[in-house]
């Protein structure tokens, strides 16, 4: 006699998640998972960008957007920054492992490290500084290049030493200035301008290669051809490969650690994605490249992760609402396309339960179910409990819509009440229940 469907528009899910990320428990974890999954899926350009400046970005758009959307936008940008920084930390950890050096690499930054996205921006900035320090420490492990031509005079030797120092300073500046969104400050000279183009997340081997090439340029009388070759090597080969590694690192990090991993811990990953994460790990370690096929497969995996995070988040919202309003979760269930809760209530005295499920589109469905048939006429009791449950579903929808208006509810109060079993129980007061089974 009562069923309901709550439809939350996909574009509304991150807005609702932004409001829930400051809570505690499973709802906050699932909310952070929603934001992180979307940020990871948006990070397809792979370039190092300025982070932590979303306060200014948001303020610049305040006049264009509704006031309620300002905080949502801040949290979405904060999630993007966390994903970007953690991808770089993941790459740095791999480099430190290869170098076999105890470099102090900052830990991954959790999105829930702060209850305020502006405060989180300061934590992101601190992580960026830690990354720069660790990269400089790794860079110091790279031996100075050997010149292929020995200087012929003390003056020439001094000039070459100065050139090498200039190259070193240019490469070091990439760590502290490029990530802040400013052009790298380089000394006058074509070689330094080319070196400044090297991605700050290039490996120590890649750094050593370009430094060696640049050092040899100092011994050449005509640098034009060699300089063009170095530029081409950096811009067309090394940097795109670093960008692919960084993209893979971002995906691996969110899938293996943090709120997305926690939210999906109880969900079995589809068999078609077996081995995908392992292949991405090989990309991060530098043992293989991110091919078009692997990128497409990884994109599908991340899309599945995002949809599942939405599903888990909406289910946790429903769980919290119902438990806060006197219901008990008796069990959970997982079907092919939905996850759900079986609810009980003290007023139902075991006669009724409610099934609440969330499908792949994050649509909430709920229905009241009678556990067994009864001897006496229970139509009034059925209508009363169905009416209360329908009212509760509508109230939950109103609270969701209060966070984002793109939520709607459809309640069918004439839905035929289902029976979970074919048992018939005599529930007349003061009479010992008699269980009768239908004839087969």
Q: Tell me phi and psi for residue 142, to 5 degrees.
A: -75, 125
pLDDT digits (tens, 9 = 90+) for 23-46: 667 888 888 888 888 888 876 555
pLDDT digits (tens, 9 = 90+) for 251-287: 999 999 989 999 998 888 899 999 999 999 999 998 9
- pLDDT at residue 31, as a whole number: 84
CB hemisphere CA count around 171 (13 angstroms): 30
On the question of pLDDT at 58 being above 50, the answer is no
What share of the chain in percent tops pLDDT 90? Answer: 21
- Report the range of poorest mean pLDDT among 218-232, 320-334, 343-357: 218-232
More confident residue, 338 or 140: 338
Nearest-angstrom CA–CA distance, 41 and 392: 35
- pLDDT at residue 423, as a whole number: 56
pTM: 0.78
Helix (H, G, I), strand (E, B) or coil at 25: coil
The structure tokens listed for 430 are 């003061």
- pLDDT at residue 188, as a whole number: 45
The structure tokens listed for 139 are 């860079």
Q: How confident is the model at residue 298 (pLDDT cuts 50, 70, 90)?
A: very high
- Which helix (H) or strand (E) segment holds residue 213: the answer is helix 204-217
DSSP string of 62-75, one letter each residue: GGGS-HHHHHHHHH
């Amino acid at each position: 006699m009562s069923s309901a469907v709550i439809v939350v528009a996909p574009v509304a899910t991150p807005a609702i998640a932004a409001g829930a990320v400051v809570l505690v428990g499973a709802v906050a974890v699932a909310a952070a998972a929603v934001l992180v999954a979307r940020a990871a899926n948006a990070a397809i350009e792979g370039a190092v960008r300025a982070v932590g400046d979303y306060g200014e970005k948001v303020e610049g758009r305040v006049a264009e957007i509704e006031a309620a959307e300002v905080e949502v936008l801040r949290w979405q940008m904060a999630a993007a920054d966390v994903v970007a920084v953690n991808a770089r930390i993941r790459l740095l950890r791999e480099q430190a492992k290869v170098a076999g050096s105890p470099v102090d690499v900052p830990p991954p930054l959790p999105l829930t490290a702060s209850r305020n996205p502006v405060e989180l921006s300061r934590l992101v900035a601190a992580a960026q500084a830690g990354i720069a320090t660790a990269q400089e420490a790794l860079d110091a492990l790279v031996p100075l290049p050997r010149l292929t031509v020995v200087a012929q005079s003390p003056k020439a030797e001094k000039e070459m030493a100065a050139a090498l120092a200039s190259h070193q300073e240019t490469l070091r500046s990439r760590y502290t200035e490029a990530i802040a969104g400013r052009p790298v400050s380089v000394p006058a000279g074509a070689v330094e301008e080319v070196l400044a183009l090297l991605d700050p997340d290039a490996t120590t081997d890649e750094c050593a290669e370009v430094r060696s090439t640049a050092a040899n340029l100092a011994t050449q009388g005509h640098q034009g051809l060699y300089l063009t070759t170095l530029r081409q090597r950096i811009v067309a080969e090394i940097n795109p490969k670093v960008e692919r590694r960084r993209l893979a690192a971002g995906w691996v990090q969110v899938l293996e650690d943090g709120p997305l991993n926690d939210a999906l811990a109880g969900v079995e990953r589809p068999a078609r994605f077996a081995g995908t994460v392992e292949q991405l790990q090989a990309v991060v370690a530098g043992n293989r490249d991110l091919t078009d096929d692997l990128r497409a497969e990884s994109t599908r995996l991340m899309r599945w992760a995002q949809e599942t995070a939405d599903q888990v988040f909406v289910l946790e919202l429903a769980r919290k609402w119902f438990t806060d309003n006197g219901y008990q979760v008796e069990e959970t269930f997982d079907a092919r396309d939905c996850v759900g809760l079986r609810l009980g209530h003290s007023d139902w005295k075991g006669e009724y339960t409610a099934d609440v499920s969330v499908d792949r589109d994050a649509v909430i469905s709920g229905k009241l179910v009678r556990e067994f048939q009864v001897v006496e006429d229970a139509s009034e009791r059925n209508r009363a409990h169905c009416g209360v449950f329908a009212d509760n579903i509508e109230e939950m929808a109103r609270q969701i819509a209060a966070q984002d208006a793109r939520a709607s509810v459809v309640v069918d109060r004439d839905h035929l009440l289902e029976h979970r079993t074919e048992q018939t129980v005599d529930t007349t007061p003061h009479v010992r229940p008699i269980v009768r089974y239908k004839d087969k």
